[in-house]
Structure 1
C-alpha cells in the first residue's frame, strides 16, 4: 500500500469518528434559543443539551454540509452554548445539533428555526368587525401591507407562543393581505396578537412587527371606574392624573384611548388600594380625547372597559362672553336663555356648570365672525342654580376648548313662597353679596331690593295705563292747538283780556 493511500485511509477513519452519518445509540439532545427564536437584529444564544457523557457538541445550519460550530460542554454540565454576537439576516435559518461521547454519536435534535425581524416596514393588524367580543365568539384578524409580501405570519403572545402562516391575497389596489380566523375565544387567557410579512424566497427574514392587537373578551369581573384628578377639564400645560379603580382581586390596570385595541399604559395597583394612577405631566392637544380603563384579575381574566371619560384641554383660544336673557335672576318654573358669543369664528360652544357639561350648542355654519349659540334652560328649578361658564371649540377638534368665559351666576328664586327674611338682610349679608356680584352682568348693585331681585313682578298693566293717559293728554292739546289756528280773533281777544 502506497504512503499516500495509507494517509487517505487514516484520514477517512478519523473523520468518520466525528461525522454523524447515521443516528447513534445516545438520546437526542434538546435545542433552544435565548431570548427566543424570533428576535430583532442583535445578540442571541443557542443552547444544545445532551447527557453528562457528551464531550463535544456540534451545531449545524441547514444548507451547510460542515458543522457550523463546535463547542465543549460547560463544566460541570451537559450542555453547550453557541453565541451569536449580532444576529443578522445571514444568520437566519434552520438549525439542529448533535453531541459526541466515547459511546458514539447522539441522534439529531429537533429542528430550531431562527427568524430575524425588522428587515421591512411593519404591516397593519386589524379585526373584523371589532376587537370587543363575547366569550365563545369568533373573529377574523386581517394582516395587510402596501408591500407585496408573499406571506403573513400571525403570532399570539403568552405562556405558549403560537404562530400561523398564510399566503397573501393580492388586491387590485396593490394591497396584500391575509385573513386569519380566530376562535372560539374565552376570557381565561390574554389574547394578544402581532403579525409580520415575509417573502417566499427568504422565509426566515420577517418585517417589523405590527402594532399589538388585544382581543377584549370580558370575563365575570366587574368593570372598573375611571376619573380625572383634579378634573376632566384641564388647562393647557397643566398636569392631570387618570385614576382607575376596580375589585380587590385586580392585579393590573390598563389605560386605553379612543377605543384603541392596544393599551396606552399598564399600572400595578398601589399597595392595597385597588387603584392605579396614570399621570399626564403636561396636558396638550395630543392628550385630549376619550379614555377607558380595564383590569386583569387572578388567572389573567380581563374585565370590561370602564365608562368612557372625556378629557378636554382648555386655553387654546380667546374666551367668549356669556349672558342671560331676560336676566340671570329668574323665578322657579320660568325659562332662561344663556347666550355664548364671540367675535371669533367658533364651531360648537360648550356650556358648563361647575365641573359638569350642561349642553352643547352650535354657532353659525359659516366661518365669519361673530358666532353665537343659545342654551335654553326650561323650566328652571333649584337644581339649575349655580355658576356657569362657556367655551368655544372647533368642529374638527371638539376636545380642544378656548379660554373660559367670565363666570355667570344663575339665581333661581322661589316665586311661590317669598322669603321674608331676605328683606331684612343688610347689604353685607352673604345673600345680598351674591346678588350684588351680578352687577357685572348688567344689573346695578346700587339700591338693590332683594324682593325685586328674587321675586320679579309684572308691570305690564301699569305701563299700559300710563301710556293711555299720556295719549289722551296729547289728543286734547292737539284739539286746542287746531282751534287756536282757525279762530285768530278769539285768540286776540283772549290776549287783550
Structure 2
C-alpha cells in the first residue's frame, strides 16, 4: 500500500488536549472526501486503533475513549486511506491527563496588570518537588510551555515563564500544572490567571474616605473616580494583585463618575497600598493607573521631655476631620513639669519614628505672697521663689496709695 501521496490529515481532541482523569474524550481525524478508512495511532506503543472508529462524513471520523486513564497521556496521530493509497501521519497531538497531584499556584510578576506592548513573567510554584511545570494558555492548549523546576529561597519549587509582548484582541488567560517524570501526566490545574491590559485611557484618581490614616482593626472606603464616563473601575492591591475587585461606575453629585470600595479591617503586618483603573465594555482593557494610595495605620504618639530618656507613649485616635492625634496628660501641676517638650509619631506598619515636632516650652512658676503692716499703712509683695525675683507689690497708706 502506497503512503504519502495524499494530503496530510488533521487531528484534534474534544473537549481538548488537556483532559482530567476519568473524563470521556473524542479524537477527530479529518482527511479527504474520498477517504475510506481512518486509523488512530498511539506513538508510545505504535498501537493502531481502528475498531472504535466512527465515520461521520466523507472526510472525517471520530474515535471515542469513554474514560481517560494515565496510560492515555501520550502522543497521538491519525491516518486515512483511499483504495490502495494511504496518507502520511498527521501532526502529533500530545494528550495531557491532569488530576494526579496537588495543584500549584500561578501569579504574575510584578503584577497581572500589564501595560500594552510590554512583557510579564508568570510564576508557577508549589511546595511539591515537581520535576517541572507546564503553562497553558486558554484557547491555545496545543502551544504549551514546559520549564524545569527550580528551588525558591522560601523553600518552594517554581518555574518562571516569560510572556509577551501583550496586546489587545487576544485572550491572555493562563493556568499551570506540575509534573514528575512524564510531563504529560500532570497535577490538578492551578488557579486561573487573567492578565489585564492597561494604558488605553486617561488615569482616574484614588482617595480614602474619610482619611488614609486608619485605626488598626477599622474599615475605610476607597474612592476611584474620573471625569470620563467609565462603565466600571478596578481596584488593585499591591502584593495581592490577583484578588482585584471590580465595581460598576456611579455618578456623584459633582457629575463625576466613581466607584466605592470598602476595605478592611486593616491591620499591621500587611501591605495596604492600592491603585485603581477605569474600563469601558471590556473590563480586561484598562486605563492608565491612578495615583498610588497607601493606607497608614494610626499608631502611637510619644512625648519627649528634655533631659529624660524615657518616652511617654500613648495610642492615637482619629478626629472628625480625619486627623490622627493623641492626648498626652502630664498630671498635677508641679515645678517638675517645667521643661521643653517635643513629640514623635509612628505608624503601626513600621518601627520608624517620624521627624521631631516643633519644641514647646512649659513654664511653671512657684509664687510666694507676703503681707506687711506698719505705722503708716499696710502692703503685700509677690515673689517668684524659683528665680528669686520680685514680681510686684502694693503699699497702702491711710490717706493715699502708690505701687
With normalisation by structure 2, the TM-score equals 0.57
Q: Is the 8 A contact 1:253 1:293 kept in 2?
A: yes
Q: State yes or no: 1:293 paired with 2:276.
A: yes
Q: CA RMSD in A?
A: 5.6
Match of 1:262 in 2: 242
Indicate the structure whose relative CO is greater, using CA pairs within 8 Å and at least 6 residues apart: 2
Cα deviation, residue 110, structure 1: 1.6
Q: Which has the higher strand share?
A: 2
C-alpha separation in 2, matches of 1:289 and 1:59: 56
Match of 1:471 in 2: 370
Within a 5 Å distance, the mapping from 1:43-192 to structure 2 comes to 43-64=24-45, 65-67=47-49, 70-74=52-56, 78-102=59-83, 104-125=85-106, 140-157=121-138, 162-169=143-150, 175-182=156-163, 185-186=165-166, 188=168
C-alpha separation in 1, matches of 2:51 and 2:257: 52
Match of 1:352 in 2: 319
C-alpha separation in 1, matches of 2:12 and 2:187: 22
- SS of the residue corresponding to residue 58 of structure 1 reads strand
Q: Deviations over 1:112-163 (max 9, x none)?
A: 1111223223334556667676666655554443333222223445678743
Q: State yes or no: 1:27 paired with 2:7.
A: yes
Cα deviation, residue 67, structure 1: 0.8
Larger radius of gyration: 1
Q: 1:292 to 1:395 in 2, by over 3 A?
A: same
Q: Is the 8 A contact 1:187 1:301 kept in 2?
A: no
C-alpha separation in 1, matches of 2:80 and 2:159: 41
C-alpha separation in 2, matches of 1:288 and 1:171: 22
Match of 1:305 in 2: 289
Cα deviation, residue 182, structure 1: 4.6
C-alpha separation in 1, matches of 2:30 and 2:67: 23
Q: 1:110 to 1:190 in 2, by over 3 A?
A: closer
Q: Deviations over 1:189-238 (max 9, x none)?
A: 675554332123x120122344455667642422234578999989x999
Q: 1:310 to 1:60 in 2, by over 3 A?
A: same
Q: Is the 8 A contact 2:149 2:159 kept in 1?
A: yes
Gaps of 5+ in 1: 1-20, 314-340, 364-373, 377-392, 398-462, 479-497
C-alpha separation in 1, matches of 2:98 and 2:327: 51
Between the two proteins, the alignment pairs up a number of residues equal to 329
Match of 1:326 in 2: none
Q: Deviations over 1:456-475 (max 9, x none)?
A: xxxxxxx99xx88x632699
- SS of the residue corresponding to residue 262 of structure 1 reads helix
C-alpha separation in 2, matches of 1:312 and 1:113: 52
| Aligned partner (choices 178, 197, 201) of residue 221 of structure 1 | 201
Q: Deviations over 1:329-375 (max 9, x none)?
A: xxxxxxxxxxxx9xxx98x5342324x3x236699xxxxxxxxxx99
C-alpha separation in 1, matches of 2:249 and 2:92: 42
C-alpha separation in 2, matches of 1:212 and 1:30: 29
Q: 1:155 to 1:51 in 2, by over 3 A?
A: same
Q: Is the 8 A contact 1:254 1:266 kept in 2?
A: yes
C-alpha separation in 1, matches of 2:50 and 2:325: 71
C-alpha separation in 2, matches of 1:118 and 1:291: 36
Match of 1:207 in 2: 187
Q: 1:55 to 1:268 in 2, by over 3 A?
A: farther
Q: Deviations over 1:22-53 (max 9, x none)?
A: 52544233222233322434344333233333
C-alpha separation in 2, matches of 1:78 and 1:375: 89
C-alpha separation in 2, matches of 1:173 and 1:211: 20
C-alpha separation in 2, matches of 1:103 and 1:89: 36
Within a 5 Å distance, the mapping from 1:418-433 to structure 2 comes to none
Q: Deviations over 1:315-342 (max 9, x none)?
A: xxxxxxxxxxxxxxxxxxxxxxxxxx9x
Q: Is the 8 A contact 1:187 1:302 kept in 2?
A: no
- SS of the residue corresponding to residue 99 of structure 1 reads strand
C-alpha separation in 1, matches of 2:27 and 2:221: 45
Q: Is the 8 A contact 1:149 1:199 kept in 2?
A: yes
C-alpha separation in 2, matches of 1:274 and 1:79: 58
Q: 1:351 to 1:121 in 2, by over 3 A?
A: same
Cα deviation, residue 310, structure 1: 6.9
